[in-house]
């Protein structure tokens, strides 16, 4: 009876320990907000999109620069050979002596005053491109944060599994030693010991698999956050105590329609398409520019004999250019641009449907996670009751050792399931925030 009391006391100590889900003593304790901050600062994916945003900023500056005047200058020096002069029938040819050194200098300026809206449409298109790049940055940040959240919560689960498996291994080892002592007294069989030795080996394999999975998950987090390779990330267990805002589905839907970055990008795509239509339409309109030029040429070769002088002249004026071929060449491009606008509007409507469906599905899963949590809480309550009853029966010799171990394993599994259920609630909450792009 003393052996039975000792074993039951060991089970109670193991199962009721408050340190079952304690954090490892070594490693870097990290909360989700700190992880987000590190990702914003170090993630290569986010940095890539930030570079794209900078390129869009420069594209806008380049588009605005089209409003500035075009100024050009040219300077040349040349060697002129002697000329030859004939009659119209190429008779009576004679050499014409030429000054051999020529020079040319030209300074020209042109300011477009009307381009059919092409310049303003180009600037508006670049501004929309800048906004699109900004949305790309924000959307990528949301994707990286949600991906890291999944890694982080999986790491939390794996840590719990490791703790539970280690406790099971310790308990199984104690049972085996106890049964070997009882076998020496003739009250236990070899088959019973073999059974628990097989269970111990199976637990060892499970523990090794979980430890390897944890290494992989930890490595993915470390690489994404650009931390030292030997960093071991320890999730903050106070996360389970965080307040979860269980909003109504309509509130989530409204938030998604207002904040979802994919919808904003689809809306921008429509506006960009409309600007492209204006840009194509501008090809059918005339271009008007103010011009000014200064020239200095020498020698003067339009006279015979050639005048060995420098000739300076300048002019100012207004130029009008109209591309008649655009009337029959541009109509196909204009039709294509209009079709692209229609397609962008249809894609925007499709995106709204997809977001609405995703939020609805996410919300149902969110509610299901609460149901699962309540179920797991009830399972823990029942497992505790079963363990207490089985413990009392075992104490009074009315239950077998296997009954006691089954009860202890049930309790351990229920405790693990409860923590995982709480983590699932947190995960689905962050998924709702991801769907509404409010991470």
pLDDT (tens, 9 = 90+) of the chain, 439 residues, equals 333 333 333 333 333 333 344 444 457 899 999 999 999 999 999 999 999 999 999 999 999 999 999 999 999 999 988 888 888 888 888 888 888 899 999 999 999 988 888 899 999 999 999 999 999 999 999 999 999 999 999 999 999 888 888 887 887 787 778 778 777 777 667 776 787 788 789 889 989 999 999 999 999 999 999 999 889 999 988 877 777 777 899 999 999 999 999 999 999 999 999 999 999 899 889 999 999 999 999 898 888 788 888 989 999 999 999 888 888 888 888 999 999 999 999 999 999 999 999 999 999 999 999 999 999 999 999 998 998 898 788 667 677 767 877 887 788 788 888 888 989 999 999 999 999 999 8
pLDDT computed for residue 51 by the predictor: 94
Q: Are 366 and 407 in contact (CB under 8 A)?
A: no
Q: What are phi and psi of 236, to 5 degrees?
A: -80, 115
Q: Is 368 helix (H, G, I), strand (E, B) or coil?
A: helix
Q: Is 108 helix (H, G, I), strand (E, B) or coil?
A: strand
Q: Is 110 helix (H, G, I), strand (E, B) or coil?
A: strand
Q: Are 196 and 172 in contact (CB under 8 A)?
A: yes
| Interatomic CA distance for residues 409 and 169, integer angstroms | 11
Class of domain 2-13+29-84+96-435 as given by CATH: mainly alpha
Cα-trace Rg, the chain: 40
Residue reference for tokens 């020079």: 103
| Interatomic CA distance for residues 225 and 209, integer angstroms | 25
How many angstroms separate the first and last alpha carbons of the chain? 58
pTM, rounded to two decimals: 0.79
Cα 191-195-200 angle, rounded to 5 deg: 145
Burial 32-43 (b: 16+ CB within 10 A, else e): beebbebbeeeb
All structural domains of the chain with their residue ranges: 2-13+29-84+96-435
pLDDT computed for residue 329 by the predictor: 82
| Interatomic CA distance for residues 275 and 208, integer angstroms | 59
pLDDT computed for residue 324 by the predictor: 86
pLDDT computed for residue 294 by the predictor: 93
> How many helices (H) and strands (E) in the chain?
9, 8
- Alpha helices in 226-321, H assignment, sequence order: 249-259, 261-281
Q: Are 189 and 203 in contact (CB under 8 A)?
A: no
Q: 101 has which bridge partners?
A: 79
151 Rama class: left (phi>0) / alpha (psi -120 to 50) / beta: alpha
pLDDT computed for residue 172 by the predictor: 77
pLDDT computed for residue 187 by the predictor: 63
Residue reference for tokens 């020209």: 108
| Interatomic CA distance for residues 4 and 400, integer angstroms | 10
């Amino acid at each position: 009876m003393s052996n039975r009391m000792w074993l039951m006391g060991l089970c109670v100590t193991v199962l009721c320990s408050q340190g079952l889900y304690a954090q490892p003593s070594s490693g870097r304790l990290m909360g989700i907000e700190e992880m987000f901050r590190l990702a914003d600062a170090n993630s290569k994916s986010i940095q890539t999109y930030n570079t794209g945003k900078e390129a869009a900023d420069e594209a806008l500056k380049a588009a605005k620069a089209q409003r500035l005047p075009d100024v050009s200058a040219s300077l040349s020096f040349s060697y002129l050979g002697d000329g030859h002069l004939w009659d119209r029938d190429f008779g009576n040819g004679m050499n014409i002596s030429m000054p051999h050194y020529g020079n040319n200098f030209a300074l020209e300026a042109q300011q477009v005053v009307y381009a059919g809206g092409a310049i303003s449409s180009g600037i508006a298109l670049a501004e929309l491109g800048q906004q699109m790049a900004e949305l790309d940055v924000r959307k990528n940040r949301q994707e990286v944060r949600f991906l890291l959240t999944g890694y982080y919560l999986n790491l939390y689960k794996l840590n719990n599994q490791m703790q539970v498996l280690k406790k099971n291994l310790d308990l199984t080892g104690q049972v085996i030693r106890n049964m070997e002592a009882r076998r020496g007294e003739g009250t236990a069989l070899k088959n019973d010991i073999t059974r628990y030795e097989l269970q111990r080996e199976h637990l060892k394999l499970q523990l090794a698999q979980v430890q390897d999975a944890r290494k992989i998950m930890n490595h993915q987090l470390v690489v994404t956050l650009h931390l030292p390779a030997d960093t071991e990330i320890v999730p903050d267990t106070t996360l389970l105590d965080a307040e979860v805002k269980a909003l109504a589905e309509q509130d989530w839907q409204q938030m998604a329609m207002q904040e979802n970055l994919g919808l904003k990008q689809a809306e921008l795509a429509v506006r960009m398409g409309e600007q492209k239509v204006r840009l194509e339409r501008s090809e059918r309109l005339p271009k008007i520019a103010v011009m000014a030029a200064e020239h200095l040429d020498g020698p003067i070769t339009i006279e015979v004999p050639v005048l060995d002088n420098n000739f300076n002249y300048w002019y100012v004026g207004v130029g009008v250019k109209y591309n008649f071929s655009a009337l029959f060449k541009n109509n196909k491009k204009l039709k294509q641009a209009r079709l692209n606008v229609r397609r962008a509007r249809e894609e925007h409507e499709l995106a709204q449907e997809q977001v609405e469906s995703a939020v609805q599905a996410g919300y149902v899963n969110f509610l299901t996670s609460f149901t699962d949590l309540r179920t797991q809480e009830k399972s823990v309550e029942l497992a505790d009751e079963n363990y207490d009853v089985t413990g009392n029966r075992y104490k009074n010799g009315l239950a077998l050792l296997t009954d006691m171990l089954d009860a202890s394993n049930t309790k351990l599994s229920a405790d693990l399931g409860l923590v995982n259920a709480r983590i699932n609630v947190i995960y689905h909450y962050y998924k709702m925030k991801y769907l509404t792009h409010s991470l």
